[in-house]
Amino acid sequence: MSVNKVILVGNLGKDPELRYTPAGTAVATFPLATSERYRDKSGQQVEKTEWHNIVVWRNLAEICGKYLHKGKQVYIEGKIRTRSYTDRDGNKRYITEIEAEQMQMLGRIGDDVGSRAPAPAAAQDDFNQQPAASFDEPAYNPDDDIPF
Amino acid sequence: MSVNKVILVGNLGKDPELRYTPAGTAVATFPLATSERYRDKSGQQVEKTEWHNIVVWRNLAEICGKYLHKGKQVYIEGKIRTRSYTDRDGNKRYITEIEAEQMQMLGRIGDDVGSRAPAPAAAQDDFNQQPAASFDEPAYNPDDDIPF
Amino acid sequence: MSVNKVILVGNLGKDPELRYTPAGTAVATFPLATSERYRDKSGQQVEKTEWHNIVVWRNLAEICGKYLHKGKQVYIEGKIRTRSYTDRDGNKRYITEIEAEQMQMLGRIGDDVGSRAPAPAAAQDDFNQQPAASFDEPAYNPDDDIPF
Amino acid sequence: MSVNKVILVGNLGKDPELRYTPAGTAVATFPLATSERYRDKSGQQVEKTEWHNIVVWRNLAEICGKYLHKGKQVYIEGKIRTRSYTDRDGNKRYITEIEAEQMQMLGRIGDDVGSRAPAPAAAQDDFNQQPAASFDEPAYNPDDDIPF
DNA sequence: TTTT
DNA sequence: TTTT
């Protein structure tokens, strides 16, 4: 009975870091900047940048590691997640991250100066993906008889 | 490289109609009302109701057919889809529908006066769901070693 | 060139706290819970609750202070914002909050057992609202001649 | 008590058409394509394009008319609206449109081959904007004393 | 009628 | 630490 959804369009502050859990699951992390322009009390235009900690799992992590790079503009859809950890002084601390479930590269494919690999397509965390074998019930089939 | 996302919170105008394609796929449809209050030129409060044609497939259709009913408040996440069809005069016509991929019943579970079945949980179109057997790589595992 | 949008449906963990800045601006804060059910490695249903720090400004803060209460289910639309502050040991620390720009109370109006005030309507942060006097150009006017 | 929100990232199928109502209100319209790739029953990759009728009012219409052009990639946030009209045979017909409230141009600014004007910034429908004079209560003021 |  |  609840919804936890985040939609971001921003630019990567660094290349993604791709790591693996002991169990072998891929996980990529990168900072994403969104910025907002507004006028302060004196009427002057100022810009405020928000930095988001993006975390991506499984196949989507591999795609991010391969195709994204510092400066790239992306669309991210995911959820907010706050983790606790213990710092070196033994204090419990919290970090809020965005767990991305969908990622879309934005802009023309040609304009990727710093690209690390040839251009890909949109991508989704495979965890909620159907197995390749089960396409007998298509998500959308315009040739099927629609009973309404 | 594109996004087509709709988020609605509204009330069902009718009980859902649950049908099956010749191939046996479940599909539910129902009208959903969202309304907006604003002031007109004369400053008077008016209310404008928008009606959305909701279409739901597969297991989520079954859930809607079982648990939703006229008047129920729901959260819907999905995509916009425009279909063409030929009317009885032979003219090509278009209808825009919202294909729901996620549905959440809102409000207290007890306040469902007209409910047709005991209360359920949130639900998602199974088409993008993982098979029951493959839970060895959990979507989220707080006990796993996170390598960052 | 960026988007920072959060959509939450959840329940208040406490009554809102309504305060005022030295300049007299109203600000309300409250924790909001969203929860997710999933199966762990052993296939068991577990529930994980995420707590969000909601911050609301101006007239929307007053509305939250008046009408929301612990347990109430709400729809929140806003943005992610991370603030830094110095803790009592002099360390710089960060806190991530959701600045709500829109709030909708969910559920039947009657089912508000602990309500602190008679039921209200949906509401929006006035900061981006038009002044009351300028309604000569309506947001939507079905009687106007639409030139397309 | 309702939400009607659409989020699109897609490409303009034509240059925007900018018109004015008899009352002098600017309104721009353009088709926006979103496309989805999926596999059909035979396992073949197919692409389905959805066309959205975008309608934009007031200052945001002027901005769209000035800076957008056929092929441009944009982020659109708005609401679904279905209008009825009478066709030339006297039949009542319906058309569903997306009324855009926010628009963001995507991609690098330099990569706008067909651009009709020098590059702009993000933009919002002024109807919900505050008047320029009232910035004494800033939307966000990092220098203000936050009372929590 | 766009983009990949 | 990105982009405009």
Retrieve residue C49's tokens: 């609750």
pLDDT digits (tens, 9 = 90+) for A133-146: 222 233 444 445 78
Using alpha carbons, select from C81, C8, D101, B32 the residue that is nearest to residue A36.
C81
pLDDT digits (tens, 9 = 90+) for D4-37: 999 999 999 999 999 999 999 999 999 999 999 8
Give the closest nucleotide to C82 (alpha carbon vs C1').
Answer: F1
Percent of chain A with pLDDT over 90: 59
Distance CA B94, CA B116 (A): 33
Retrieve residue C81's tokens: 């914002």
The answer to whether the CB of B30 falls within 8 A of the CB of B68 is: yes
DSSP D24-42: --EEEEEEEEEEEEEE-TT
- pLDDT band for C66, please (50, 70, 90 cuts): very high
Retrieve residue C110's tokens: 């009657």
Retrieve residue D50's tokens: 């959805």
Nucleotides of E under 7 A from a protein CB: 1-4
Can you give the residue ranges of every domain in chain B? 6-37+44-105
Angle at alpha carbon of residue C7, lines to C3 and C8, rounded to 5°:
155
Q: Which of residues 22-61 of A touch B (CB under 8 A)?
A: 22-23, 25, 27, 29, 55, 57-58
* Number of helical H runs and strand E runs in chain C: 1, 7
Q: Which residue is nearest to nucleotide F3 (CA to C1')?
A: A11
pLDDT digits (tens, 9 = 90+) for A103-128: 999 976 655 544 455 555 578 887 76
Query: CA torsion, points C64, C67, C72, C74, in degrees to nearest 10?
Result: -50
Instruction: State whether residue A11 sits within 8 Å of chain C by CB.
Output: yes
Asked if C21 and D146 come within 8 Å (Cβ–Cβ), the reply is yes
- pLDDT band for C142, please (50, 70, 90 cuts): very low
Retrieve residue D138's tokens: 């800033």
Asked if B38 and C104 come within 8 Å (Cβ–Cβ), the reply is no
Angle at alpha carbon of residue A61, lines to A59 and A63, rounded to 5°:
75
What is the per-residue pLDDT for C1?
A: 76
Helix H or strand E encompassing D94:
strand D92-105
Asked if C4 and A79 come within 8 Å (Cβ–Cβ), the reply is no
User: Mind telling me how many Å the CA of A108 is from chain D's nearest CA?
Assistant: 6
At residue A109, what are phi and psi to the nearest 5 degrees? -65, -30
CATH number (3.30.1950.10, 1.10.10.10, 2.60.40.420, 2.40.50.140) of C6-37+44-105 reads: 2.40.50.140
CA quadruple A87, A91, A95, A99: dihedral sign? positive
What is the per-residue pLDDT for B121?
A: 52
Beta bridge partners of D104: D75
Give the closest nucleotide to D72 (alpha carbon vs C1').
Answer: E2
Q: Is the CB of A8 under 7 A from strand F?
A: no
Beta-carbon contacts of D94 under 8 Å, excluding residues fewer than 6 positions away, are: B95, D82, D83, D84, D85
User: Where are the alpha helices (H) located in chain A, listed in sequence order?
Assistant: 58-67
Residue C15 has pLDDT above 90, yes or no: yes
Q: Which residue has the higher pLDDT, C91 or C11?
A: C11
Q: Which residue is nearest to nucleotide E3 (CA to C1')?
A: D11
State in Å, rounded, how far the first CA of chain C is from the last one.
29
What is the per-residue pLDDT for D135?
A: 27
CA atoms within 13 A on the CB side of D16: 27
Distance CA A27, CA A64 (A): 9
Kindly state the DSSP code that residue A142 receives in the 8-state scheme: T
pLDDT digits (tens, 9 = 90+) for A46-73: 999 999 999 999 999 999 999 999 999 9
- Chain B window 2-31: residues with CB closer than 7 Å to nucleic chain E are 2
Residue A34 has pLDDT above 60, yes or no: yes
Asked if B3 and D8 come within 8 Å (Cβ–Cβ), the reply is yes
- pLDDT band for D146, please (50, 70, 90 cuts): confident
Query: CA torsion, points C62, C68, C73, C76, in degrees to nearest 10?
Result: 10
Neighbours of D96 (CB within 10 A): 20
What is the per-residue pLDDT for D120?
A: 57
pLDDT digits (tens, 9 = 90+) for D59-101: 999 999 999 999 999 999 999 999 998 888 888 899 999 999 9
Query: B99-113, C79-93, C96-110, D88-102: lowest mean pLDDT where?
Result: B99-113
Report the residue of C37, C69, C135 to disrupt the B interface, i.e. the one with the largest count of B CBs within 10 Å: C135
Residue with tokens 């009330």: B11
What is the per-residue pLDDT for D72?
A: 95
Query: B78-82, C68-72, C114-118, D36-40: lowest mean pLDDT where?
Result: C114-118
Residue C141 has pLDDT above 60, yes or no: no
Distance CA A133, CA D60 (A): 47
